[in-house]
Amino acid sequence: MAVVVLKTFVARKTACCVVLLCLILAPTISYAQGAQSFGEWFERSLGSSAVPELVKQYGGVYIVPIQERLWLDEVFQRLVEVTERKELDYNLTVLDSPEYNAFALPGGYLFVTRGLLKAIAQDEAKLAAVLGHEIAHVEKKHGINAVLRQMGLTVLVEVGMLWLDVIPADLLRVASTTLLQLLHLGWGREAEYEADAVGQSLAVRAGFDGIGAVALLDDLLEADSFDLPMKVFRTHPDTKDRRYRVEERLTSFWSIPQFVPAAQLKEILIESRNYDQNRRSDPNNRFFVAKGLSSGLEVYDAQSEQRMLWLEDIKVKDFAWSPTGQYLALVVEQSSLTELWFVDRYGHVVQKLQPDVKYGRIVALSWSPRGEMLALQCSDGVEDQIMVTYVHTEVYLPVSGPLGGKEPIWLDEGLYFLRGEDWYHTSAPPTKPVVVPNPVPLVLQRQRILSPTVIREGDTIRLTRPSLVLP
C-alpha cells in the first residue's frame, strides 16, 4: 500500500511539473484578464528581474547629452516600429561603462555602453546594426529559451520537491542568475547567426544602410588584431564567417534588375553623356583631368593655370571624380591585375582596393549620387558583371544578376547597365537619414558683474581681485 501511495504522489508531482512548464512555454495561455500570456509575463518578469544587477555590473545608468540622446532614440524607435512582436514595450538604457558592448534581456530590455556610443561616433548605420542585432535576440526569444534549456531539469526537480508551493520570486531569482551567466557567454552559435540576419533586415526595413553590420564586424576584427576592449557581437561564431554572411546578404536587399523600356532610354542616354562629361571635372571647379596616361594622370589646375602630372609611372585605365569632389577614383593596372585607388584632391593616394581575382579585371566605374558607393564593371574575359563597392568598407556586391552586365551608369533613380542590346535598372534599398533638430533654445546668457574690493592702506588704495557674481 505504501508503494502505491508513493507512486501516486510522484505521478501527481510530475503532472504539476508538466503543467508549470506548459504554462511557461505556451504563449497562448492567458490570465483571466486576457492581457497577456503567462509566457510573456514570465519573459518580461525574468528580464526586469535581471536589470538591476546588470546595471550595477556596468557602472550604473549613463545620462546621455540631450542631442545624442535624441539621435539615439530616433534610431531606436525606427527599429522598434518595424519589429514583429508588437506586444513588447521595448526600452533602451545606456550603461556608464567605457567598455564597447551591448546586451538584450528577455522582455525588450536593451543596453548599450557609453564606450560603444563613443566608438560608433554618430554612425547611424553601425548603431542600427547593434540595436537591430539585440532586438533580434528578443524577437526570437533567444535569451528566455536559453534559460529554460539550462534550467529545465532544475525546475522539474524544484517543482517536484515543492509540488505546488513554488514561490515565483525564488524561481525568478534563480532564473535571473542563470540569465546573467548565460548573457556573457552568448546565446549560442545559431542564435547569433539568426540575430545577425534578422537584425540586418530590421535595419534595412527601418531605412538604414545594411552595410552597418559589415562595418561593425570589421571594427571587431580590427579590435581583435590590436587587442582592444570591443566586445559587441563578440560571441561564439567566428567573426570572419559572420562578416562573410552579412556581406553576402547585402545583395539580397537590392531590387531584381528590370528591363528599361525604349521610351525611357533616350533620357537615360542623355543623362549618361552628361555624367561622362562631368566625371572629368572636380565638382569644386579647380581640377580637370585631361586624360589618363600610361605613366600617370594629366591634370589641369585652374587656380594656378598649370598642367600637372599625378601618379607618375602608374597606368590609369579609367577615372571619375566623386560627386562631393573629395575623391578621384582610379582604375589602375598592376601587372595582370587591376586595383581601385582613391586619390584626394591633391593627388595623394588615400586608399587601395583589390577585388578578388574571381571577379576579373575592373573595366569601368561609376559613382553613386551621394558618393558613398561605386559601381564597377568587372570582366573575367568571358563575361562581364556589375559589382558595387563602398568607399569606406571593402565589399563587392554582384548586383547585375547571373546574366551579367556592362557600362554602369549611376543616376539619381538607381543604377543602369547594359546587358546585350538592352538596358536594365536596379537599385539599393532606400535609406532615410536621422535628422535631429536642436531642441535647446538659445537664451540670453546672464552677464557676470565685476565687484572688486577696495582696501585703504594709509595713502594707498588697493583693489583686490574682483569676484565674479551673477545678478
User: CATH number of the domain that 314 lies in?
Assistant: 2.120.10.30
Average pLDDT over residues 278-289: 80
pLDDT tens for 291-314 read 655 677 888 888 888 888 888 888
Average pLDDT over residues 172-176: 76
Average pLDDT over residues 57-75: 93
Question: Can you read off the three cell numbers belonging to residue 341?
Answer: 585607388
* Rounded Cα gap, residues 238 and 250, in angstroms: 19
* Rounded Cα gap, residues 232 and 217, in angstroms: 9
Question: Can you read off the three cell numbers belonging to residue 226?
Answer: 590590436
pTM for the whole thing? 0.78
Q: What pLDDT, on the 0 to 100 scale, is given for residue 294?
A: 66
pLDDT tens for 333-391 read 887 789 999 999 888 999 999 888 888 899 999 999 888 999 999 998 889 999 999 99
304 and 207 in a common domain: no
Task: Give the amino acid at 364.
Answer: A
Beta-carbon contacts of 180 under 8 Å, excluding residues fewer than 6 positions away, are: 50, 53, 54, 57
410 and 273 in a common domain: yes
Check pLDDT > 90 for residue 256: yes
245 and 322 in a common domain: no
246 and 274 in a common domain: no
Q: How confident is the model at residue 9 (pLDDT cuts 50, 70, 90)?
A: very low
209 and 191 in a common domain: yes
159 and 109 in a common domain: yes
Count of C-beta atoms within a 10 Å radius of residue 445: 6
Q: What pLDDT, on the 0 to 100 scale, is given for residue 6?
A: 32
Task: Give the amino acid at 448.
Answer: R
Q: What pLDDT, on the 0 to 100 scale, is given for residue 140?
A: 92
Question: Can you read off the three cell numbers belonging to residue 106?
Answer: 528577455
42 and 190 in a common domain: yes
Which residue in the block uniquely carries the three cell numbers 525564488? 170
354 and 210 in a common domain: no
Tell me whether residue 186 is in a domain.
yes
Tell me whether residue 450 is in a domain.
no
- Among 125-129, 158-162, 267-271, the minimum mean pLDDT is found in 158-162
Tell me whether residue 60 is in a domain.
yes
For residues 204 and 253, is the Cβ–Cβ distance under 8 A? yes
In terms of residue numbers, what domain contains 343? 258-426
Task: Quote the Cα angle for 350-351-355, to 5°.
Answer: 165
- Name the β-bridge partners of 259: 424
Count of C-beta atoms within a 10 Å radius of residue 303: 8
Q: How confident is the model at residue 160 (pLDDT cuts 50, 70, 90)?
A: very low
Task: Give the amino acid at 404.
Answer: G
Task: Quote the Cα angle for 310-316-321, to 5°.
Answer: 70
From residue 289, give the alpha-carbon distance in Å to each of 63, 284, 300, 393, 408.
Answer: 51, 13, 6, 26, 20
Count of C-beta atoms within a 10 Å radius of residue 380: 13
Beta-carbon contacts of 170 under 8 Å, excluding residues fewer than 6 positions away, are: none
* Rounded Cα gap, residues 199 and 212, in angstroms: 11
Average pLDDT over residues 107-127: 93
Q: Got the DSSP string for 186-231?
A: -S-HHHHHHHHHHHHHHHHHTT--THHHHHHHHHHHHHHHHT--B-
User: What share of the chain has pLDDT > 70, as a percent?
Assistant: 76
Check pLDDT > 90 for residue 224: no
Q: What pLDDT, on the 0 to 100 scale, is given for residue 235?
A: 59
Which residue in the block uniquely carries the three cell numbers 546565446? 187
3-class secondary structure per residue, 115-137: HHHHHHCCCHHHHHHHHHHHHHH
Tell me whether residue 279 is in a domain.
yes
Beta strands in 89-186 (DSSP E): 91-95, 102-105, 109-113
Tell me whether residue 56 is in a domain.
yes
Among the candidates 220, 253, 286, a domain finishes at: 253
Among the candidates 426, 441, 456, a domain finishes at: 426
Average pLDDT over residues 56-81: 94
Tell me whether residue 40 is in a domain.
yes
Among the candidates 234, 253, 272, a domain finishes at: 253
From residue 180, give the alpha-carbon distance in Å to each of 135, 199, 392.
Answer: 17, 22, 36
365 and 336 in a common domain: yes
309 and 175 in a common domain: no
* Rounded Cα gap, residues 431 and 434, in angstroms: 10
Check pLDDT > 50 for residue 39: yes
Tell me whether residue 277 is in a domain.
yes
- Among 73-82, 284-293, 437-446, the minimum mean pLDDT is found in 437-446
From residue 32, give the alpha-carbon distance in Å to each of 19, 26, 35, 246.
Answer: 17, 15, 8, 44
Check pLDDT > 60 for residue 471: no
Tell me whether residue 312 is in a domain.
yes
- Among 132-136, 162-166, 330-334, 450-454, the minimum mean pLDDT is found in 162-166
3-state DSSP call for residue 363?
Answer: strand
Task: Give the amino acid at 67.
Answer: Q
264 and 240 in a common domain: no
Task: Give the amino acid at 393.
Answer: T
Question: Can you read off the three cell numbers belonging to residue 368?
Answer: 553613386
49 and 148 in a common domain: yes
* Number of domains comprising the chain: 2
Instruction: Please tell me what DSSP assigns to residue 328.
Output: E
